[in-house]
Amino acid sequence: MAQPAEEHGHSHEGHDHAHGDDHAHGDHGAGHGGHHEEGFVKKYLWSCDHKMIAKQYMFTGMFMGIIGGFFSYAFRMQMAYPGHNVPGFGVVSPNEYNALITNHGTIMIFWLAMPVLIAAFGNFLIPLMLGCDDMVFPRINRLSYQIFLLSALVLIASWFVPGGGFGGAWTAYPPLSAKAQYNLTPLGSTLWVIAVALEFVAFLLGGINFVTTAMNSRAPGMKMFDIPMVVWMIVIASILFMGSVGPLVAGAVMLVFDQTVGTGFFDPVRGGDPILWQHLFWFFGHPEVYVVLLPAVGIVAEIITVFSRKKLFAYRTVLYTAFGTGILSFFVWAHHQFIAGIDPRMANVFTATTVLISIPIAEMMFVYVATLYGGSIRLTTPMLWALAFIAEFMIGGVTGIFLGASGSDIYFHDTYFVLAHFHYTFVPIAVIAVFAGFTYWFPKMFGKMMNETLGKIHFWGTILPFNGVFIPLFITGMGGDHRRIYNYQNFPELATQELANLRQFATVSLLILLAFQFVFFINLIISLLNGKAAGNNPWRANTLEWTTVSPPPHGNFAQLPTCYRGPYEYSVPGREEDFWPQDQAT
């Protein structure tokens, strides 16, 4: 996190210029303070600056991602070599196994995908791309990160309490999750719910900033359809999150009461209903998958336009598909519960809505493919990641249709087919798109270029083994492997050599994948220490974050920019340059 020493100089300058700019455009701001030297704590831990908060989210997310990846290593080793000692972990017992998968799923979604895609990129990009000096509520922003950090600490703490971490799956269905006598993790399960609930609060607070900043603080001249797609997507995702998480927040309170006070909200013996939790969970859970999908799709839009030097094909259509997906996503939740004992007639409705959601998403994919047409494509590392996202996500998307069709979900439900389906959506989102965004904005964040050769080695070393992990799991799923089983030897039909080989193949692929992650971290460190200086706009991109210095100083811009056009005016006929930054008058 090397910040150049001249930051404060810039900050000073930014202050004065901001004043001038201020009056010119009718803002009545006091500008930014910040003459004195900030201490370490103030700068790195207690900062209100959106860029620092973004980095805090980014590195916390990265750290949690490493833990989640380590967990997947431990339980995949157990699955491939049941009962053997896992190097670096030990023998995996059944209850440890359950705790590992539960926390793997929870971490990857709530402590990797959400903080990196929404909070880190959202915090970093929204003010910069909209041409303002910070988020509208910097202190709420800081509070949001602090609550998030607290939630991560509570989750980590939950693994070390007596009884161990919660092992009732990330979906936490009661009565298993509600009663210690069933789950045998009296403290772990309560801490788990509390951690998740705190995380929700952090993101509700974060959403205030994302949405109000995007609505109110755009640079003068920036109209609705001049907003870069990634900002739109993060904002829509925040709204989706806010609209769907409420019932689960209430549900979490009810679950904690069931666990600790002894109420019976989800206890059938006492007049409660376990299915109620499933509705509350999935009413949130399904929109949630699009909450993480949309920012990823936004990141990809920025990258493919820059590296194919093309205008985004049908900007408005992309936006409408995002709205369509968002709205439809509230009406599909029960496809996770087809065989959970809901009224079978309801399944027909949810089949229809679920299969129809393929339309906006298919359209979005078609638009991206169409954007490549007529381009001048440069396969840099970020571009490779972005293209891989499209290619791989498609597999995850189309396999979702097998599950959305109620008739075939009878067989596929809770098999590894489902598992492979959602890893083919989540890994493109939380790993591939994250690396795409990270490598693309790294020069802006740190002022240095990353090494392209190492970047490409890391890319191929991740993409190829990734398919090696999950293609076999589609097949084991079709063969009947069901989820959350620590040892398949107990099921005669699943103990065959053929299935065991596939499981081992998946695990070995994972080992290769993990080994190649070291390339990334080496690249990260050497680029931070002595990467080539990036300059303001190494990718020759249009959006406003590239018009300021890298990394941007406190206050972001020497002079707050004015916006003259949309973000994707590449290769405009009649212009010398093949790009046309949003802040250039001519």
Partner 1 sequence: MIERYIEQVSTYASDIDGLITLIGVIVGFWFVLVEVVFFGLIVAFREKKGVKAQYITGEEKHQKRWIGIPHELVLLCDIVIIIAAVRVWVNVKQTQPPAQETVRIIAQQWAWSFVHPGPDGKLDTADDIKTVDELHVKVNTVYHFKLEARDVLHSFSVPVFRLKQDAIPGRVITGWFKAKRTGVHDIQCVEICGIGHGLMPARILIQTPEEYGTWQAAQAATASK
Partner 2 sequence: MQKPIATLRSATGISTGKLAVWWVLASEIVIFGGLLCSYLMHRLGHPEFGDYAAHTNTTLGACNTFVLLTSSYFAVRAHFEAEHGRGPQAAKWLMATIGGALMFLCIKSYEWTHEIREGFTITRNAFWSFYYCAAGLHACHVIGGAIIMGIIAADAAKNRELQRVELVGIYWHFVDVVWIFLFPLLYIAK
Q: Which of residues 282-311 bind partner 2 (CB under 8 A)?
A: 283
Q: Where are the alpha helices (DSSP H) in 167-228?
A: 180-183, 186-216
Contact 191, 177 (CB under 8 A): no
Stretch that binds partner 2, among 203-211, 486-494, 502-510, 539-547 (CB under 8 A): 203-211
- Tokens 């915090």 correspond to 123
Among 45, 157, 169, 249, binds partner 2 (CB under 8 A): 249
Nearer to ligand HEA, 53 or 113 (CB): 113
The CA radius of gyration of the chain, in Å to the nearest whole number, is: 24
- Shortest distance (Å) from residue 223 CB to partner 2: 9
Pick the binder of ligand HEA from 113, 126, 130, 234 (CB under 6 A).
113
**Nearer to ligand HEA among residue 73 and residue 539 (C-beta):** 73
For residue 91, the cross-strand partners are: 85
Q: Restricting to residues 384-403, name those near ligand HEA by CB under 6 A.
A: 394, 397-398, 400-401, 403
Residues 406-465 that bind ligand HEA (CB under 6 A): 409, 412-414, 418-419, 421-423, 425-427, 429-431, 434-435, 438
Lookup result for tokens 């191929």: 460
Q: What are phi and psi of 448, to 5 degrees?
A: -125, 155
One of 69, 115, 175, 251 touching partner 1 (CB under 8 A): 175
Give the residue from 117, 293, 269, 284 showing the smallest Cα distance to 179: 269
Question: Exposed, middle or buried: residue 37 (CB in 10 Å: 0-12, 13-18, 19+)?
Answer: exposed
Helix (H) or strand (E) holding 86: strand 85-86
Among the candidate windows 94-102, 325-333, 428-436, 443-451, which touches partner 1 by CB under 8 A? 94-102
Instruction: Tell me the window of 74-82, 261-269, 320-328, 508-516 that interacts with partner 2 (CB under 8 A).
Output: 261-269
Near partner 2 by CB under 8 A: residue from 71, 97, 115, 134: 134
Chosen from partner 1, partner 2, Cu ion, none, partner binding at 391 (C-beta under 5 to 8 Å by type) = partner 1
133 binds, among partner 1, partner 2, ligand HEA, none (CB under 5 to 8 A by kind): partner 2
Our CB check for Cu ion shows the closer of 50 and 286 to be 286
134 vs 409, which CB is nearer to partner 2? 134
The Cα 386–Cα 541 span in angstroms is 16
Residue numbers 389-428 binding partner 1 by CB under 8 A: 390-391, 394-395, 398-399, 401-402, 404-408, 410-411, 413-415
Out of 286, 458, 554, 565, the residue judged to bind Cu ion by CB under 5 A: 286
- Per-residue contact track with partner 2, 40 to 79, x per CB under 8 A? --------x-------------------------------
Count of residues that bind partner 1 according to CB under 8 A: 96
Lookup: tokens for 350: 């949810």
Q: Which residues contact 390 (CB under 8 A, 6 or more apart)?
A: 300, 365, 368, 369
Gap between the Cα atoms of 382 and 175, Å rounded? 45
Closer by beta carbon to partner 2, 244 or else 308: 244
Distance in angstroms (rounded) separating the CA atoms of residues 361 and 352: 15
Instruction: Find all residues with CB under 8 Å of 85, minimum gap 6, and list them.
Output: 91
Residues 546 and 536: beta-carbon distance below 8 Å: yes
Closest to 435 in 3D by CA, of 452, 459, 454: 459
DSSP string, 526-577: HHHHHPPB--S-TT---SGGGGS-SS--TTS-SS-----S-TT--S-TT-SS
Please report, as a single letter, which amino acid is at residue 156. Answer: I
250 interacts with partner 2 by CB under 8 A: yes
Number of residues that bind ligand HEA (CB under 6 A): 63
- Taking the complex as a whole, the smallest distance from the CB of residue 335 to Cu ion amounts, in Å, to 6
Q: Tell me if 33 contacts partner 2 by CB under 8 A.
A: yes
**Cβ proximity to partner 2, 265 vs 438, nearer residue:** 265
* Cα–Cα distance for residue pair 464/364, rounded to 1 Å: 25
Among 20, 262, 344, 535, binds partner 1 (CB under 8 A): 344
Judged by CB under 8 A, the stretch of 9-17, 37-45, 239-247, 363-371 that binds partner 1 is: 363-371
Q: Among residues 212, 263, 358, 536, which is the contact residue for ligand HEA, using CB under 6 A?
A: 358
* Interface characters, 49-68, with ligand HEA (x: CB under 6 A): ---------x--xx--xx--
Long-range contacts of 187-191 (CB under 8 A, 24+ apart): 187/158, 187/161, 187/162, 187/163, 188/99, 188/158, 188/159, 188/161, 188/163, 188/164, 189/259, 190/256, 190/259, 190/260, 191/154, 191/155, 191/157, 191/158, 191/161, 191/166
The residue number with the shortest CB distance to Cu ion is 286
Instruction: Tell me how crowded residue 23 is: count the other CB atoms within 10 A of its CB.
Output: 10
265: its two tokens? 């909200």
Measure CA 42 to chain center: 28
Question: Using CB under 5 A as the criterion, which residues of the chain lie in contact with Cu ion when the complex forms?
Answer: 286
Question: Using CB under 6 A as the criterion, which residues of the chain lie in contact with ligand HEA when the complex forms?
Answer: 58, 61-62, 65-66, 69, 72, 75-76, 101-102, 104-105, 108-109, 112-113, 116, 169-171, 289, 292-293, 335-336, 354, 357-358, 361-362, 365, 394, 397-398, 400-401, 403-404, 409, 412-414, 418-419, 421-423, 425-427, 429-431, 434-435, 438, 469, 483-484, 510, 513, 517
Question: Using CB under 8 A as the criterion, which residues of the chain lie in contact with partner 2 when the complex forms?
Answer: 18, 22, 27-33, 48, 127, 132-140, 204, 207-208, 211-213, 215-218, 222, 242-251, 253-254, 257, 261-265, 270-273, 276, 280, 283, 555, 560
